[in-house]
Chains A and B, each alone.
Chain A
Amino acid sequence: MDIFTQQLINGLVVGSIYALVALGYTMVYGILELINFAHGEVTMIGAMVALSVIGILMGTAPDLPGLMVVVAGLLLAIPACMALAFTIEKIAYRPLRKAPRLAPLITAIGVSIILQNLAMLVWGRQYVSFPAVLPRGQHEILGAHITDLQIVIVVLSLLTMAGLWLLVERTRLGRAMRATAQSREVAELMGVNVDRVISATFVIGAAIAALAGVMVSAYYGLAHYYMGFMLGLKAFSAAVLGGIGNIAGAMLGGLLLGVIEALGAGYIGDLTGGFLGSHYQDVFAFFVLILVLVFRPSGLLGERVANRA
């Protein structure tokens, strides 16, 4: 039982990070029907910027408490990612807004490759280690180990998701976003500044991505110019699983994917008598994704595409 609890906790922690990144995919898709493949790289840049700031702070002021150093890193990573996403949208996607849908998709892949290589030039090709500055408290719940960091990751993710939900449902900007998602033309006719709403969507997604990036690098103790790729792929799958374009769906999809992966990798070997090993972790997660899509093509919480259009 304690092993099961532990796997569940493992899955929830990773899942909440997936969910945060998935939000960025789903928000952009909801409004532009564009899959922003560069989003994983924005997460990576967030982690890298934060790590650089942390490194500099630790070098110049070694007496600062660790938590403060990390928060400072995060606070600088967020605006950096916001500026980056704003620029990407303006340069790479806006000129193509009226182009066939395939064009911005290819551009997104291009931006993703450019960002990866830029990061490689700036931060080098090595793994950058996350300095051990965070408190390393551990607790035991139902026989499972949970660290302070894990609790912070889950709580902060949930708060961020709640905040985003409030923003979308309860504010003027949120209403403008929902209106733009429903119909860009009509929203424009009603006086919504669509360009600004789209920019805001990218920027908000990037801020959340920066947070997720710092969490990932703190959790695994490292960052790397390539880390955004797999993370982005998983988060994108999570968004699709939950129903892309749907914010609650991204959260649910992320958490589910994390848990499925953890349970899959943890139990698949024993369940199949060693026939399938834990290297089928990803296969297991994507198999569930396919299964869901077969029965619910628009994802768990997604609306039917026919009704939306």
Chain B
Amino acid sequence: MRTKHLLSALFMAGALGLAGCGDKPAEESGAVIRIGSVAPLTGPQTHIGKDNENGARLAVDEINAQGLQLGGKPVKLELLGEDDQAEPKTATIVAQKLVDAGVVAVIGHLNSGTTIPASKIYHDAGIPQISPSATAVAYTAQGYKTAYRVMANDAQQGKALGQFAVVKMAAKKIAIIDDRTAYGQGLADEFEKAAKEAGGEVVAREFTNDKATDFTAILTSIKGKGADLVFFGGMDPQGGPMAQQMKRLGLSARLLGGDGLQNVNFLKLAGADAEGVVASSPGLPIDSMPGGPDFRKKFEAKYGVIQVYAPYAYDAVYALVDAMKRADSAEPAKVLAELPKVDIQGVSGPVKFDAKGDTVGGAVTLYEAKGGAWQVLETMK
């Protein structure tokens, strides 16, 4: 009985808190517009998460410095950074927290596995969400009018990777490993489809998880099947040791991965064994982005080396602000109505959304690790 009272008291408090938020839309309460930014800020993917937040923060600081006017009044943007620990469970908690805090939009989350569960909460609250880096097809396939992304999705990326593996890398026997996250699995599925279409044979489909460091068992089994290419759908903390263990086991197969591997940290973790690894990244290489070199200068002056998605987080903020300017308001409903019309020249190229909320004409670039750096192989459209 006592628990029940406590619960209802908590519920009341929560309801009051919510009501309090609803009473004063950000616009009128002192011209501060709150935008959420969610990414893992603790755990194995911290470096990538912080990168996203910094990208968004750079954009917010710039826009504030230029001065933004909505509805004839000057407004200031405030970025609320939250940590979803790359955990779907935590993602929904922080999503609710941001909604309760009265944010008008959210830039995030980083992983597909967290973006998708959180998207329901933003959808129910009616606030726009632009993910800089979630690439799982499922994210925008839910029919939510609030879900957008600025990066090519896994279907686009997996297709490019599958074709590249078979056509350009001449892979005949392909082994596929994924880390069972929405991102890893989605990418691996799309890769498998495209590779088979292009005429490659998939000899093994193995699985791991996003905390594992030991892949010797599955790699040995793959070796036994005579694979000449190993595709990994997952992130760099797994990819690094995987590259090392492949060499150690004497696998002659090449390692191919998606944007989860295409970052500085992978090169550090794999060390000398990174040599020859091929990985893709949606969009253009930072230096061939229209605004790339400029962005790099601005970013590195403030936050250090760019990990991977910072330009996209930056573009996501500008896309959002473009919609706000079109609506001349920061009210979520009005911004949502304008988001499909967004058309800006971002750092990563033109940012436009299709009817589903996917980015139009996302390019995918392939890189090879050579001499301790990622070298551009080619860009596929």
B44 touches A224 (CB 8 A): yes
> Taking the complex as formed, is B64 at the interface, i.e. its CB lies under 8 A from any CB of chain A?
no
B217 touches A10 (CB 8 A): yes
B268 touches A6 (CB 8 A): no
A129's partner among B209, B211, B268 (CB-CB below 8 A) is: B268
A14 touches B244 (CB 8 A): no
The chain B residue with its CB closest to the CB of A279 is B207
User: In whole angstroms, how far apart are the Cα atoms of A14 and B220 in the complex?
Assistant: 14
Which residues of chain B are within 8 angstroms of A261 by Cβ–Cβ distance?
A: 217
B223 touches A6 (CB 8 A): yes
B248 touches A226 (CB 8 A): no
User: In whole angstroms, how far apart are the Cα atoms of A10 and B251 in the complex?
Assistant: 14
With an 8 Å Cβ cutoff, the count of chain B residues facing the other chain is: 36
B207 touches A277 (CB 8 A): yes
User: In whole angstroms, how far apart are the Cα atoms of A63 and B182 in the complex?
Assistant: 46
Given A221-B244, A222-B240, A3–B213 Cβ distance below 8 Å? Answer: no
User: In whole angstroms, how far apart are the Cα atoms of A261 and B214 in the complex?
Assistant: 10
B248 touches A138 (CB 8 A): yes
> Taking the complex as formed, is A275 at the interface, i.e. its CB lies under 8 A from any CB of chain B?
no
Which residues of chain B are within 8 angstroms of A227 by Cβ–Cβ distance?
A: 213
Q: Is the interface of B mostly helix, strand, loop or mixed?
A: helix
User: In whole angstroms, how far apart are the Cα atoms of A124 and B43 in the complex?
Assistant: 10
A10's partner among B180, B208, B220, B269 (CB-CB below 8 A) is: B220
Closest beta carbon of chain B to A237's beta carbon, Å? 15
> Taking the complex as formed, is B237 at the interface, i.e. its CB lies under 8 A from any CB of chain A?
yes
User: In whole angstroms, how far apart are the Cα atoms of A114 and B290 in the complex?
Assistant: 46
How many Cβ-Cβ contacts under 8 Å join chain A to chain B?
102
Chain B interface: which of A37-45, A196-204, A263-271, A289-297?
A263-271
User: In whole angstroms, how far apart are the Cα atoms of A269 and B222 in the complex?
Assistant: 11
Which residues of chain B are within 8 angstroms of A230 by Cβ–Cβ distance?
A: 211
Contact residues of B between 225 and 274, Cβ < 8 Å to A: 237, 240-241, 244, 248-250, 265, 268-272
> Taking the complex as formed, is A107 at the interface, i.e. its CB lies under 8 A from any CB of chain B?
no
B207's partner among A6, A221, A278 (CB-CB below 8 A) is: A278
A281 touches B241 (CB 8 A): no
Closest beta carbon of chain B to A305's beta carbon, Å? 33
A226's partner among B43, B47, B209, B240 (CB-CB below 8 A) is: B43
User: In whole angstroms, how far apart are the Cα atoms of A131 and B268 in the complex?
Assistant: 9
A279 touches B180 (CB 8 A): yes
> Taking the complex as formed, is B206 at the interface, i.e. its CB lies under 8 A from any CB of chain A?
yes
> Taking the complex as formed, is A125 at the interface, i.e. its CB lies under 8 A from any CB of chain B?
yes
B217 touches A266 (CB 8 A): yes
User: In whole angstroms, how far apart are the Cα atoms of A224 and B268 in the complex?
Assistant: 14
> Taking the complex as formed, is A127 at the interface, i.e. its CB lies under 8 A from any CB of chain B?
yes
> Taking the complex as formed, is A161 at the interface, i.e. its CB lies under 8 A from any CB of chain B?
no
Q: Taking A227-B213, A281-B208 as given, write out 5 further A-B residue pairs in contact, using a Cβ cutoff of 8 Å, ordered by the A residue number.
A: A221-B269, A222-B213, A266-B220, A269-B221, A278-B208
Q: Which 3 A-B pairs have the closest CB atoms?
A: A279-B207, A265-B217, A3-B224
Q: Which residues of B contact A (CB under 8 A)?
A: 41-44, 46-47, 180, 204-209, 211, 213-214, 216-218, 220-221, 223-224, 237, 240-241, 244, 248-250, 265, 268-272
Task: List 10 contacting pairs A-B, 8 Å CB cutoff, sorted by A.
Answer: A3-B220, A3-B223, A10-B217, A145-B250, A220-B244, A221-B241, A224-B237, A261-B217, A278-B208, A279-B209
